[in-house]
Amino acid sequence: MQKPYYPKNMWQQFVWYLKSDWGDYMRTFAVTAAVVLVTVLPSQSSPSTQPLPNAPTSIGGVNHFHTWQWLLLACAAIYFVGSWKSITMEARRRKYDPALALKYTGMFFKDYEGERKKATKVLIRFHEGKTKKWEDVPDRSEIDPILDIFDDLGFLLQGGQISDWVIYQYFSYWIHLYYQAAQGYVELRRMEDNTQWEHVPNLYDDMMKIQEYKNAQPREKLIWTHDEMIKALKDEFPPHP
């Protein structure tokens, strides 16, 4: 099976895993460190003191562990590797968990089909018409429900509830299309209220970064031309045969 061709920065992924389950990783490290210390310290007795009855002997200045100490160290190593792997696998599962994406695809493509159709018509009419200012579009609020969904996705992404990997898989095309078509409207509303759709621009930027990497092209070449954008909007609701 071919691996997903997503942008991968090993250091960023390592940090992401640490942040996602910081408590579990620290607990694993603490337990392992405690076992190692309890096992090793008896062998570090000072020459000026009498060794403990069960301490390992020293031959030629070299400490030799007893069998029980080697067993404890082996168990600690097995625990550390197994626990670390288990926590990482769980973090990875959450990173690719599609549950929230499936919920929002149901909203976007089914529950909001009427709203999406209205928003698409407004966008087509604006870009094909003579009006160049969003202030002059009386029904521009028809676009709001679509942007609200994208803002929710951006909010969930920022909070670590869903990953950019999952959002890209399910929504990248439509985030690109509707944000590019409605960017002027988003900027207008955010000039009036900076909290309006505050997560949408960053969500779009994240999707475009992945797209740049996957296509090995700069963003300028990935932006649709005016005609391409109009065609993509009209293709959202093709005529029935």
3-state SS assignment for residue 7 = coil
Tokens 């390992």 sit at which residue? 56
Cβ atoms of residues 102 and 36 within 8 Å: no
Q: What's the token pair of residue 1?
A: 């099976």
Q: Which residues contact 237 (CB under 8 A, 6 or more apart)?
A: 117, 120
Tell me which amino acid residue 215 is.
N
Q: How far apart (Å, rounded) are the C-alpha atoms in residues 119 and 125?
A: 10
Cβ atoms of residues 211 and 165 within 8 Å: no
Model pTM score: 0.70
25, HSE (Cβ side, Cα atoms, 13 Å): 14
**What string of pLDDT tens digits covers the 241 residues of the chain?**
334 445 555 555 666 566 666 667 677 778 788 877 777 776 665 454 455 555 555 444 445 667 877 888 888 888 888 887 777 777 777 778 899 999 999 999 999 999 999 999 999 999 999 888 999 999 999 999 999 999 999 999 988 889 888 999 999 999 999 999 999 999 999 999 999 999 999 999 999 999 998 888 899 999 999 999 999 999 998 655 4
What does the chain come to in residues?
241
**pLDDT score of 85:** 77
Q: Which residues contact 46 (CB under 8 A, 6 or more apart)?
A: none
Q: Which residues pair with 208 in a beta bridge?
A: none
Residue whose C-alpha is closest to residue 172's, from 222, 124, 122, 216: 222
Tell me which amino acid residue 178 is.
Y
Secondary structure element (H or E) that encloses residue 58, with its range? strand 58-59
Phi, psi of 98 (to 5 degrees): -90, 5
Cα angle: 137, vertex 191, 206; to 5 degrees? 95
Q: What's the token pair of residue 36?
A: 């190692």
